[in-house]
């Protein structure tokens, strides 16, 4: 009962978002945040709307969260927009999802450029429809020299597939005598992944109450802090992102070791 009351009173003292942002900026921020954006379908179902309406609303959240993450000072934001398994969805839904990057970038690219955001993409670009490829490539080209937030879309991305491709490339290099067996290391494998130019995620967020990784960045998430929330992606807002960041800042990251003084 007491706990309930305390929790209630804590909730009612709401700190303005701007102040929360300032406070967070005084401490170590997660450099790279990766998000599994889940719950678009359920958001739509709750409103008796078609699933694609949820994806469309989810696209608006992408805009909101990108802008805010950039303002906070996050360096990399990786968003799981389409997995290698998502092709199993109904054709109409897949087609809609493949149109979303185009719509998003068609509408927001000038704003992303103005905000100094650099767009990147990881995943198998070759098997995307031409129109999706064109829209993404244009955004990558036009933002290539920006040095603010890196907005990295995982599109037609699957982590196992990524690892298989990396291993296969290394095996070929060994076979051709370009790499010695002894040179195979964690760093070498990391350098063959689609994230080779990025830091590993510090914080992973998954929305909608599902608690699994769904073939997302399996290698890169080895020491990442996880944050799961019941909020559905279209309802996820700036304050939800602050909740995750604030919680991250209270974590004690040890990377398998001990903090100074803990060994005594
Ligand atoms: C999972 O929700 C979401 C997806 C498979 C697609 C995510 C895409 C977006 C949020 C929009 C992307 C925007 C851009 C700019 C590329 P779900 O459909 O599995 O939801 P459910 O579990 O409630 O059914």
What is 25-158+199-249's CATH superfamily?
Decaprenyl diphosphate synthase-like (3.40.1180.10)
pLDDT digits (tens, 9 = 90+) for 138-166: 999 999 999 999 999 999 999 999 999 99
Using DSSP's 3-state secondary structure scheme, residue 227 falls into strand
For position 86, what pLDDT does the model report? 97
Q: Which pLDDT band holds residue 189 (cuts at 50, 70, 90)?
A: very high
The structure tokens listed for 252 are 């004690």
Task: Give the lowest-confidence range in 12-21, 54-63, 87-96.
Answer: 12-21
Residue 262 pLDDT > 90: no
Please tell me whether 233 is known to bind a ligand: no
CA-nearest of 169, 171, 196, 190 to 181 is 171
Stretch 67-84: mean pLDDT, rounded?
98
pLDDT band at 6 (very low <50, low <70, confident <90, very high): very low
Give the distance (Å) from ligand 1 centre to CA of residue 97. Answer: 8
Please list every protein residue whose CB sits less than 6 Å from any atom of ligand 1: 37-42, 55, 58-59, 62, 81, 86, 97, 100-101, 104, 153, 208, 233
CA of 220 to the centre of ligand 1 (A): 22
* pLDDT at residue 1, as a whole number: 44
pLDDT on residue 254 = 79
CA–centroid distance, 24 to ligand 1, in Å, is 28
pLDDT of residue 252 exceeding 90, the answer is no
Residue recorded with tokens 């994230």 = 195
Q: Are strands 150-157 and 76-83 parallel, antiparallel or unpaired?
A: parallel
Write down how long the chain is. 264
Q: What is the mean pLDDT of residues 57-74?
A: 98
> Which residue has the least CA distance to atom 8 on ligand 1?
81
Q: Residue with structure tokens 């051709």?
A: 176
**pLDDT exceeds 70 at position 4:** no
81 phi/psi in degrees, rounded to 5: -95, -30
More confident residue, 11 or 230: 230
Domain layout of the chain by residue ranges: 25-158+199-249
């Amino acid at each position: 009962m007491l706990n309930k009351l305390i929790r209630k009173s804590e909730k009612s003292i709401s700190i303005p978002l701007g102040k929360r942002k300032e406070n967070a900026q005084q401490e170590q921020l997660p450099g790279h945040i990766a998000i599994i954006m889940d719950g678009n379908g359920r958001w739509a179902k709750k409103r008796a709307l078609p699933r694609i309406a949820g994806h469309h609303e989810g696209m608006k959240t992408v805009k909101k969260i990108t802008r805010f993450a950039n303002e906070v000072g996050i360096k990399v934001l990786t968003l799981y927009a389409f997995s290698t398994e998502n092709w199993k969805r109904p054709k109409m839904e897949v087609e809609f999802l493949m149109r979303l990057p185009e719509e998003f970038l068609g509408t927001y690219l000038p704003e992303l450029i103005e905000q100094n955001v650099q767009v990147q993409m990881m995943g198998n670009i070759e098997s995307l429809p031409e129109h999706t490829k064109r829209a993404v490539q244009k955004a990558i080209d036009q933002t290539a020299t920006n040095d603010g937030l890196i907005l990295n879309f995982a599109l037609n991305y699957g982590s196992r597939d990524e690892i298989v491709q990396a291993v296969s490339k290394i095996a070929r290099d060994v076979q051709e005598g370009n790499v010695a067996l002894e040179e195979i290391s964690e760093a070498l494998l990391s350098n063959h992944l689609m994230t080779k130019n990025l830091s590993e995620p510090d914080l992973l967020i998954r929305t909608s109450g599902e608690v699994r990784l769904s073939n997302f960045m399996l290698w890169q998430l080895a020491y990442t802090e996880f944050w799961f929330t019941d909020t559905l992606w279209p309802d996820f807002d700036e304050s939800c992102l602050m909740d995750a960041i604030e919680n991250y800042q209270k974590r004690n990251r040890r990377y398998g070791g001990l903090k100074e003084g803990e060994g005594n």
